[in-house]
Chain A
Amino acid sequence: MRGFLTDSDHPNYATVAADCGINESLPSAERFHKVTNMQPIISISNVSKTYKGGFQALKGIDLDIRRGEIFALLGPNGAGKTTLISIICGIVTASTGKILADGHDIVQDYRAARSKIGLVPQELTTDAFETVFDTVSFSRGLFGKPRNPAHIEKVLRALSLWDKRNNKIMTLSGGMKRRVLIAKALSHEPQILFLDEPTAGVDVELRRDMWNMVRDLRETGVTIILTTHYIEEAEEMADRIGVINGGELILVENKAELMRKLGKKELLLHLDQPLTSIPSSLAAFDLHLRADGHELIYVYDTQSERTGITTLLRGLAEEGVRFRDLETRQSSLEDIFINLVKDRT
């Protein structure tokens, strides 16, 4: 699923880049990192949503999405991820707040705002009796674009759907249907693409394919916002991560910075002789025994002034504890996420 749309397919990006004085001869990835620092492509101010029954799904969300980035919105089920996306796309009405998409108010100037956005919903909602080509062409027309079979062909080929173009959607597998939804969302050449749980229920191979596709799309200038509760996905794909829980945006951070700030490291020592307990002289360290006392784990904060490793190793030597090997491990985004959400509940 490599080799997606080329830059020339996105005249809007080219215009934006040119407007901002970005050299078109630069490699595309470099250009987008420059574009990243410009005005946000989506600006969300104080958005709240209270449903009829009184359930408050979103509580005063403020968020800017940068042009050209991949932004992952992480959160447990019911956190408000889909509600937020649905509001931006016009499917749900916000109770309060304001949203701009590429500078256009999503309510007052909804035509301009929505024409920039493509949405791939979480559910596999398709017109079962339509053919792949027809349903993708329909989406293009719906978003106000004239017929362009050449573009539809390009999208379908990029998503490995060209061979299935005359098949009715009801005959396709779940993975293929997911691709059809992506093709529909890309049919009108959007600048912003929302992927709501794009890899929920798909096999590992397709998931990898999707990640490659998302990266390729980003290279063409499309800003991508994906919601997921697969931490691995956010860790693999995102430039920035927002964590949402209980309708509140807990944190927004560059992925690398987030992992650096909140990441803990583990030092794992493989002992020569098993220990039955931690020596009392080392009680001050955050130590745990594992594997029947054959492994000693020390958890430390990479951001603290002193990690304590030197002192620990010295203390172990004094106690006569010898080890055969050692390794360190960075805590995953999943650990960070669980800790963040746990702290709030």
Chain B
Amino acid sequence: MNIHAIRAIYLFEMARTWRTLLQSIVSPVISTSLYFVVFGAAIGSRITEIEGISYGAFIVPGLIMLSLLTQSIANASFGIYFPKFTGTIYELLSAPISFVEIVVSYVGAAATKSIILGLIILATAALFVPLRIAHPIWMLVFLVLTSVTFSLFGFIIGIWADGFEKLQIVPLLVITPLTFLGGSFYSINMLPPFWQTVTLFNPVVYLVSGFRWSFYDQADVPIGVSVAMTLVFLSLCIGIVAWMFRTGYKLKS
């Protein structure tokens, strides 16, 4: 195990976060605060409670999940795409480092950033709404699992993308709509039965539901199913990354 290489890449990626603090941390926190103002205060004042929880508090897990998903993908995809774009990927490919070590360092750094961000947003939310966390350990498990899974997904996008446009396509056209339609701002029980069934094909539903359960002990789908679906998606991403490295897909000719 090339520990020095993992450390070097991890610290290099984290240094980029601190260097770009405004984009990496401040910007998502401001965006999320705006969601609280708009949905929590303006719209939320007209919605009393959902399943016994005030609307402002109800949307907190969904909003954290929205940031986790988008930031994990953005961080990891940019982290591996940028060396491809600048050409410095040559150094990574010629170094005595295994593919597993490359993934651990890049995905580890991206997931770390997302977790820090998630916790900052959680702290920010506590300023706006009264929060309680029923299952703190499970809350952390979901936070870490989601960050790692979607950082892996972002890593895949970063290897696949051959232009900055492609880096944006999946987060904008797939992830954001799935998150908005995944129960971030409402309970899927509020939908007509047909759309409730359709929604179950959206993987984000399971993440949001599980995460919300860790806060309020209430879920749209059983918690076991949420964990299982997250693990399935994680395994799928690991499988794709393994295939990419085995074949050298878009990395080695």
Residue of B nearest to A90 (CB): B94
**Which listed residue, B7, B90, B253, touches A141 by the CB 8 Å rule?**
B7
CB of A128 within 8 A of chain B?
Answer: yes
A89 touches B253 (CB 8 A): no
**Using a CB-CB cutoff of 8 Å, which residues 48-101 of chain A contact chain B?**
51-52, 89-93
A114 touches B86 (CB 8 A): no
- A141/B87 contact (C-beta < 8 A), A91-B94, A112-B96 known: no
CB of A212 within 8 A of chain B?
Answer: no
B87 touches A125 (CB 8 A): yes
- A142/B97 contact (C-beta < 8 A), A91-B252, A93-B248 known: yes
CB of B141 within 8 A of chain A?
Answer: no
CB of A156 within 8 A of chain B?
Answer: no
Provide the bound-state CA to CA distance between A137 and B15, in Å.
13
Contacts of A139 in B (CB 8 A): 91
A89 touches B7 (CB 8 A): no
Contacts of A90 in B (CB 8 A): 93-94
**Using a CB-CB cutoff of 8 Å, which residues 91-143 of chain A contact chain B?**
91-93, 110-115, 117, 119, 121, 123, 125-129, 134, 137-143
CB of B232 within 8 A of chain A?
Answer: no
B8 touches A142 (CB 8 A): yes
A52 touches B15 (CB 8 A): no
Provide the bound-state CA to CA distance between A146 and B12, in Å.
15
Residue of B nearest to A112 (CB): B96
- A144/B4 contact (C-beta < 8 A), A115-B96, A138-B12 known: yes
Q: Which of B5, B87, B91 has the most CB of A within 10 A?
A: B91
Contacts of B8 in A (CB 8 A): 137-138, 140-142
**Using a CB-CB cutoff of 8 Å, which residues 203-253 of chain B contact chain A?**
248, 252-253
Interface residue tally on B, bucketed by range: 20 to 34
Provide the bound-state CA to CA distance between A92 and B248, in Å.
9
Contacts of A115 in B (CB 8 A): 96
Contacts of A92 in B (CB 8 A): 252-253
Provide the bound-state CA to CA distance between A112 and B98, in Å.
12
Residue of A nearest to B253 (CB): A92
CB of A184 within 8 A of chain B?
Answer: yes
Provide the bound-state CA to CA distance between A263 and B70, in Å.
66
Residue of B nearest to A194 (CB): B94
Provide the bound-state CA to CA distance between A111 and B99, in Å.
12
CB of A145 within 8 A of chain B?
Answer: yes
**Which listed residue, B9, B87, B93, B96, touches A111 by the CB 8 Å rule?**
B96
Contacts of B92 in A (CB 8 A): 142
Contacts of B91 in A (CB 8 A): 119, 139, 142, 184
- A125/B86 contact (C-beta < 8 A), A91-B252, A145-B4 known: yes
B95 touches A143 (CB 8 A): yes
Residue of B nearest to A123 (CB): B87
Contacts of B97 in A (CB 8 A): 111, 142, 144
Provide the bound-state CA to CA distance between A125 and B94, in Å.
14
CB of B19 within 8 A of chain A?
Answer: yes
Residue of A nearest to B248 (CB): A93
Residue of B nearest to A109 (CB): B96
Contacts of A123 in B (CB 8 A): 87
B252 touches A93 (CB 8 A): yes
Contacts of B19 in A (CB 8 A): 129
B4 touches A146 (CB 8 A): yes
Provide the bound-state CA to CA distance between A119 and B2, in Å.
19
B252 touches A89 (CB 8 A): no
A142 touches B90 (CB 8 A): no
Contacts of A114 in B (CB 8 A): 94-96
B93 touches A143 (CB 8 A): no
Provide the bound-state CA to CA distance between A52 and B12, in Å.
34
**Using a CB-CB cutoff of 8 Å, which residues 15-61 of chain B contact chain A?**
15-16, 19
Contacts of B16 in A (CB 8 A): 129
Contacts of A110 in B (CB 8 A): 96
Contacts of A184 in B (CB 8 A): 91
- Distance (whole angstroms) from the CB of A148 to the closest CB of chain B: 11
A144 touches B2 (CB 8 A): yes
Residue of B nearest to A113 (CB): B96
A121 touches B96 (CB 8 A): no
Contacts of A143 in B (CB 8 A): 4-5, 95-96
B96 touches A128 (CB 8 A): no
Mask: chain A, 38-53; 1 = CB below 8 Å from B; 0 = not: 0000000000000110
Provide the bound-state CA to CA distance between A126 and B93, in Å.
15
- A125/B96 contact (C-beta < 8 A), A138-B8, A145-B4 known: no
Q: 9 closest A-B pairs (Cβ-Cβ)? A: A141-B8, A125-B87, A111-B96, A114-B96, A89-B94, A142-B95, A115-B96, A141-B4, A144-B2
Name 7 A/B residue pairs within 8 A (Cβ), A-sorted: A51-B253, A111-B2, A129-B16, A138-B12, A141-B5, A143-B95, A144-B96
